[in-house]
Amino acid sequence: MNRFLTETNWRFIDQSLTMLTHSPLESFAMDDTLCHVTGHASSPPVIRTWVHQESVVLGIQDHRLPHIEEGMALLRARGYEPIVRNSGGLAVVLDPGVLNVSIVFSESEPTSIDQAFNYMVDLVKAIFPKVADQIEAYEIIGSYCPGTFDLSIGGKKFAGISQRRMQNGIAVQIYLCIEGSGSERASLIRDFYAVSLQGEKTKFTYPTVVPEVMASMQELTGEPMTVAEVNIRIQQLLLAWNSNTVLLPLQESELALYAHYLERIYKRNAVLLKG
């Protein structure tokens, strides 16, 4: 097991329930805040879990789609609220069956981009020990938001990882499709791109989404696991690795910083959505 994971004195922030009634923008502001406080050595490294209601998180390139307004209208008509995130990547689906996990730590010890990604890969394998040897990290063609560190079992993607660096901090974020149908989520994004492109050629190549290459962990393992159960597994892992792990939400001294990043990200999202 990765020594970084097992020997770090972790701060755990559980927002798997409290973020359900909030916009995903608040989670991105939260990770910016945690990058700041870990990067400035005023907080130990953090592992945070978070869940949101039905939303589609768009990337900057998605915002440049020729018929993006029609694409966002389709998402809203199907019950999903679109937002634009402050990091790279393309459209991903969030809903109560998707558990998001962030690992946030300081750049004080130089960490390559791939090494940071691999911390998350190792964490996911530890969360799912029964299938750890089946989990592979490589780009799944036909998935939404494809990338080198897509996580899959038997060629079917269940998770994607992104990374953000700011204020001397690093945030590695993953969405884990735990419950429900991975292909249904992928179908939504396929339809979003169809409506947003309408057959037009663009300089940027958007993914041709093939719903069959995506699945949830419920589907892949045949086990009735839930987001709540996996969230508990993470807490148990951290405590088993290091008894100094603390459950510590944002403190009063950090709230003003969070308010700053939240205001900034809401303003930015409003500008992008107005187009």
- Which residues are part of the catalytic machinery? 145
Q: How many CB atoms lie within 10 A of CB 35?
A: 25
- Give the three-class secondary structure for 20: coil
Note whether 246 and 48 are within 8 A (CB): no
Note whether 207 and 92 are within 8 A (CB): no
The letter for the amino acid at 73 is A
Note whether 7 and 80 are within 8 A (CB): no
Distance CA 271, CA 31 (A): 21
Which residue in this structure is represented by tokens 């149908």?
181
- Give the three-class secondary structure for 193: helix
Which residue in this structure is represented by tokens 């109560």?
96
H or E stretch covering 270: helix 252-274
DSSP of 85-144, one letter per residue?
-SSS---EEE-TTEEEEEEEEETTS---HHHHHHHHHHHHHHH-GGGGGGEEES--TTSS
Distance CA 91, CA 269 (A): 15
Note whether 93 and 188 are within 8 A (CB): yes
Instruction: Name residues whose C-beta falls within 8 Å of residue 37's C-beta, 6 or more positions apart in sequence.
Output: 43, 169, 254, 257
